[in-house]
Amino acid sequence: MQVAKTIEEVRRHTKGARSRGKKIGFVPTMGALHVGHTSLIDRGIMDCDFIVVSIFVNPTQFGPGEDFKKYPRPVDDDLKICEEHNVDLVFNPEPQEMYAAKNLTWVNVEKLTELLCGRSRPGHFQGVTTVCAKLFNIVQPDIVYLGQKDAQQAIVIRRMVADLNMPMEIVVCPTIREADGLAVSSRNKYLSEKQRKDATLIYKSLQKCREMIDSGIRDSQKIIAEMRKILQQVPSIEIEYISIVDADTLQNLDQITGRVLTAVAVRIGPARLIDNILIDTGKL
Ligand code: AMP
């Protein structure tokens, strides 16, 4: 496994792989790797011949007062995990390598970024799409692997790739969960034992949504009210949003129909946690 700190090194390795006819898979991450990340790597290994993982805590996607400084950076552990999962190349740049000159160019996907997490994290998605555009230009992958865990992020990046005619495929992989249903996340580390237990209510509320839709209920407000009751069982949970939206446009749905995304964002103590489920009512 090669570890590159510079853009030039990445270009050299990927150019070599491409000239040997290898299909390049790319998994962008912020590190603190866990089974959610490795599920993307493992999927990439199945489809591709050369897997690149980036480990970069991207400053431009964190707002003032967010957790940029304290975001975990266990780089040695991450490299070990990558090695164990047969990654070919890790790109682990310093911020000055990615943002050498102060960026005057930003990539901004309209509309889709104004909803859900975009409301409470202004500028967040612009940071995400800008760093992804830069990383995609550096790595030039055939396939990019993203997690359904960050559903809005995947939708926004897919749209950027389509709108800017970037020549790559986006594959979105299922959310990996702990045994009790909590979506695996680097930010779960911020939780105390009690908060970690309370956090299981997030997935319970999503399961309630699924049950209600399965039983034929189509009134979103009715479902959201039941989900709210579940999350309000503990005082530690502060609800940021519970939304039932069209899975393509992210517009709120009063009546559930077609492919719907139910998305939740909460604060528990020091952590902001998000989760979602995707339901295709056409297939029920
Ligand atoms: P992050 O390091 O949090 O920026 O995440 C990097 C990639 O891993 C993103 O595409 C995430 O959606 C994906 N990811 C994070 N957690 C999970 C999970 N529990 N299941 C599946 N994918 C995940």
Tokens 């009690």: give the residue.
194
pLDDT tens string, the chain, 284 residues long: the values are 999 999 999 999 999 999 999 999 999 999 999 999 999 999 999 999 999 999 999 999 999 999 999 999 999 999 999 999 999 999 999 999 999 988 899 999 999 999 999 999 999 999 999 999 999 999 999 999 999 999 999 999 999 999 999 999 999 999 999 999 999 999 999 999 999 999 999 999 999 999 999 999 999 999 999 999 999 999 999 999 999 999 999 999 999 999 999 999 999 999 999 999 999 999 98
Atom number in ligand 1 closest to CA 28? 6
Please state, in angstroms and rounded to a whole number, the distance separating the CA atoms of residues 170 and 191.
32
Q: Which two tokens stand for residue 284?
A: 């029920």
Give distance in angstroms: CA of 272 to centre of ligand 1: 15
Q: Look up 37 and say whether it is catalytic.
A: yes
| Strand-pair partners of 86 | none
Sheet containing strand 259-268, edge to edge, reads 237-246, 259-268, 271-280
For residue 163, what pLDDT is reported? Answer: 98
Give CA–CA dist 271/25, Å, rounded. 31
pLDDT of residue 102: 86
Residues in Cβ contact with 45 at an 8 Å cutoff, skipping those fewer than 6 apart:
25, 51, 85, 86
**Tokens 């160019």 belong to residue:** 105
Residues 6+ apart with CB under 8 A from 87: 1, 41, 51, 52, 53
Look up tokens 């995990």; give the residue. Answer: 81
pTM: 0.98
Closest CA to 49 of 95, 97, 16: 16
| Contact of 277 with 206, CB cutoff 8 Å | yes
Phi, psi values for residue 3, rounded to 5°? -120, 120
User: Which residues line ligand 1 at a C-beta cut-off of 6 Å?
Assistant: 29-30, 36-37, 39-40, 146-147, 149-150, 173, 175-176, 183-186
CA atoms within 13 A on the CB side of 243: 22
Identify the sign of the CA torsion 224, 125, 7, 141.
positive
Catalytic residue among 13, 34, 37, 124: 37
At residue 170, what is the residue type?
I
For ligand 1, atom 16, name the residue with the nearest CA.
Answer: 36
- The tally of CA atoms less than 13 A away on the side-chain side of residue 89 is 25
